[in-house]
Structure 1
Amino acid sequence: MSQPQEPHRPFFPFGNPFRMLSPKGSQLSPRLLSLLNTFEEAFAARLQKLNPKDKDDVLSLTWMKLAMESLCETHTAIKTLITELELPVTEWDAKWIDVYLDITVKLLDICIAFSSEISRLSQGHLFLQCALHKLECNTSEKLMRACSSLDSWRQHIGSKNPRLGNCKSILESLVDSLTLPKVKNSAKGKVLMRAMYGVKVQTVFVCSVFASAFSVDSENLLDLDVPNTISWAQAYSDLQTTVNGEIRDVFSRGKFTFLKELDEVDAAVNKLYPMIQDGMRPTEMEAFRSSFSDLGGRAEKLSQVLDVLAKEVDGFFKIVLSGRDALLRNLRVSDTVADPFPGNSGEQVRG
């Protein structure tokens, strides 16, 4: 487990989010305070909704789909907040811009790694389909080929994806290695920096869970300490304790695979495999049909949830990319930038 040695720095370079209500700083107007409270209340609700009622659902593709969906909602919400704040056009320091662009590159890189792994897992479905097709014909030759396809599926799923190798260093750099340029203090800036802190926390949390689940390595989990002065701190602490704790517990059991839907397919394979390895006896036909049907259903469920998860990861990629593109467009038009995240710009990305 990666334990931070010093307080985590904000994900985006807006300064310290915990000093925003300091008497020495700008006071928040009722309108700004209302905007902040609305954002944080909705954010806390998303964290609470993400906390699984059943711990067995933690390491599941279904839960991961909900987690990525929630993260996209949070990134969309921060865009809406920026619009509502009506931030004035301000000059961005070159170092500020470099930090932002560096962060977005890292997020795009980790999205590409996740998409690569989802695609790899989806490719394994071909081996299952091949095995099921051969099992429809009860001949010794077909049974041997079915066994070979199931062996190939296990080897494919159990292999390592080299694209996941950089996830840990990317996550740690997002949390610990940011250079924070100073920016002019303002009431609106304080609201934004506090909201951005929440975006940062959820982004690192979700990405660390994905990296851990896909790489089968609990070392990719990151535990973030959120000050209890933040209104959503308890909701986040409960979520992190439940999810990270269960992941580490599951990893300690030493299983073939750690994702629930993959585990279910593997269990069905293990049940069917002995029946076909040495040929089926007439008395085993009913059990074979049941196991055959079970494997087919679980394989199809796995394929479908992987497709849905792939779309969610792609949606997050587009949200990050669109914000980056908006900043670069503004830089080309003017020496000043008003808002790097205009609108719900996930639709602005051209295929």
Structure 2
Amino acid sequence: MIAPKGSQLSPRLVGLLNTFEETLAGRLRKLNPKDKDDVLSLSWMKLAMESLCGTHNDIKSLIAEIDLPVSNWDEKWIDVYLDISVKLLDVCIAFSSEISRLNQGHLYLQCVLHNLDSTTSDQFIRARSSLDGWRHHIGSKNPRVENCSTILDKLVESLDLPKVKNSAKGKLLMRAMYGVKVLTISVCSVFAAAFSGSAKKLLDLNVADTYLWAQAFNDLQGNVNGEIRNVLSSGRVMVLKELEAVDDTVKEMDPKIQDGVDLSERNAFKNSISDLDRKAQKLSQGLDLLTKEVDGFFQILLAGRDTLLSKLRSGGAVSDRMLTGNVEGQFVR
């Protein structure tokens, strides 16, 4: 199907391609949530980022296995790769900034919990102030995340495969890269929707059934995007599950913090404080784990760019324009 005229893929190359696509299908099936409540949880988002890292490492291994020297890469392949990678680096920076912003909200919650150790009126006033600060902080928008839609739309345009002439290995590489791009764009659009609280950030990609991973992807996309749209259409303000759990407890405690706690309510209020502490810790820990995965993906992208640029410089495979203009101009951002 992908071999150029007058040539055929060897059984070895067919085997490598099939292994890559079957592995991708397995990752997609594993990512498909068994329970709709898993969607938009930090644990699911961590798993999604792990799948991205694994798939990008798989394509790196495939390139090494097919032994397609950089000198044989068409300039437009390299242009496309470098353009995609710098856009993904921008997306990673946006996600990292949002995770950091959400984690900063933990400081407000710690102040709330500290001030609720006492039931004096002064401490309650401070607790109310910290809660107001938390609501304002969590409810604010991150312009970097808001701008992700524009970047993702550009990445969708890159899904059209560059034409490959007289190279079976080249066509194999382009086919495999298509799967990597589809998974990457899909996961990033889910993250953008989750962090922004907007279903407009979601992308629905159409994948032909000629790919071994197509059915697994279509199932995943339908389940995840469908649940996110249901959640957002219900009017929920807090989209991330762990963040919503904290907000629910805050809303439950708020009237008592505002009006004071009667003697008969003190035990129940202490339980609410403990509940808030537990949920706040779970949120903070989940954000920390997700940060590590996003940072890991960022490093994989950087390493891929560094490797390619090093080979281009040492092999003289492409024009000076690509090395000094397109490449380095994009890299220093």
Given that residues 48 and 239 in structure 1 are in contact (C-alpha distance below 8 angstroms), is that contact kept between their aligned partners in structure 2? Answer: yes
AA aligned to 1:286 is N
Of residues 60, 63, 79, the one that matches 2:41 is 60
Q: Does 1:275 align with 2:256?
A: yes
Q: Distance in 1 between matches of 2:303 and 2:247?
A: 39
Given the superposition, is the C-alpha separation of residues 288 and 214 from structure 1 closer, same or farther in structure 2, using an over 3 Å criterion? same
Which residue does the alignment assign to 1:48?
A: 29
Deviates more, 1:55-64 or 1:307-316: 55-64
Q: Any residues of structure 2 matched to 1:44-193 within 5 Å, and which?
A: 44-176=25-157, 182-193=163-174
Once the two structures are TM-superposed, the CA of residue 93 in structure 1 deviates from its matched residue by 4.4
User: Over the residues paired in the alignment, what is the CA RMSD in angstroms?
Assistant: 1.7
TM-score, with normalisation over the residues of structure 2?
0.91
Which residue of the partner structure matches residue 237 of structure 1? 218
Unaligned runs of 5+ in 1: 1-18, 338-351
State the 1:97 CA deviation.
2.9
Output the amino acid matched with 1:201.
V
Cα 1:231–1:97, aligned 2, differ >3 Å: closer, same or farther? closer
Q: Give identity over the alignment, percent.
A: 67
Q: Is the 8 Å Cα contact of residues 232 and 239 (structure 2) preserved in structure 1? A: yes
Query: Hey, what's the Cα distance between the residues in 1 that align with 2:174 and 2:96?
Result: 30
The letter for the 1-side match of 2:102 is L
CA distance in 2 between counterparts of 1:40 and 1:181 reads: 19
SS of match in other structure, 1:53: coil
Q: What is the CA–CA distance in structure 2 between the aligned matches of 1:65 and 1:261, rounded to whole Å?
A: 13
TM-score normalised according to structure 1 size: 0.87
Partners of 1:96 and 1:180 within 8 A in 2: no
Q: Is the 8 A contact 1:99 1:179 kept in 2?
A: no
For residues 8-28 of structure 1, give each alpha carbon's deviation from its aligned partner in whole angstroms, at most 9, with x where no partner exists. xxxxxxxxxxx5157x46322
Q: Compared with structure 1, are the counterparts of its residues 41 and 178 closer, same or farther at alpha carbon in structure 2 (3 Å cutoff)?
A: closer
Q: Is the 8 A contact 2:193 2:200 kept in 1?
A: yes
Call closer, same or farther: CA 1:194–1:99 in 2, change over 3 Å.
Answer: closer
Choose the corresponding residue for 1:37, options 18, 21, 41. 18
Provide, for residues 58-103 of structure 1, a one-character-per-residue CA deviation record: whole Å limited to 9, x for no partner. 1111111110011100000111111111224534444443332221
CA contact (8 A) 1:91 1:335 kept: no
Q: Contact conserved, 2:71 with 2:315, CA < 8 A, in 1? A: no
86 and 95 in structure 1: CA distance in 2 versus 1, 3 angstrom threshold? closer
Residue 306 of structure 2 corresponds to residue 312 of structure 1? no
| Cα distance per residue 1:178-223 (max 9 Å; x no partner) | 7865443322222222211110110000000001111111111111
Richer in helix (by share): 2
Structure-2 separation of matches of 1:183 and 1:236 = 25
Distance of 1:302 and 1:21 partners within structure 2: 49
Which amino acid counterpart does residue 127 of structure 1 have in structure 2?
Y
Q: Is the 8 A contact 2:80 2:158 kept in 1?
A: no
Residue in structure 1 matched with residue 201 of structure 2 by the alignment? 220
**Aligned pairs, number:** 318
Distance 1:207 1:333 in 2: 33
Residue in structure 1 matched with residue 328 of structure 2 by the alignment: none
Indicate how the Cα distance of structure 1 residues 88 and 275 shifts in structure 2: closer, same or farther if over 3 A, else same: same
Question: Counterpart in 2 of 1:286?
Answer: 267
Rounded to whole Å, the distance in 2 between the matches of 1:213 and 1:70 is 18
Partner residue in 2 for 1:20: 2
Which residue identity does 1:100 align to in structure 2?
Y
State the SS of the aligned residue for 2:187: helix
In structure 2, C-alpha distance between the alignment counterparts of 1:180 and 1:238, rounded to whole Å: 23
In the superposition, relative to structure 1, how do residues 226 and 77 fare at CA in structure 2: closer, same or farther (>3 Å)? same
C-alpha separation in 1, matches of 2:168 and 2:242: 47
Q: Which amino acid aligns with 1:108?
A: L
Give distance in 1, aligned partners of 2:213 and 2:78. Answer: 29
The answer to whether the 8 Å contact 2:116/2:124 transfers is yes
Deviation for aligned residue 1:163: 1.1
Letter in 1 for 2:62: L
SS in 1 for 2:211: coil
- 1:323 to partner: Cα distance: 0.8
Label 1:33 to 1:70 Cα distance change in 2 as closer, same or farther (>3 A): same
| Distance across 2 between alignment mates of 1:153 and 1:25 | 65
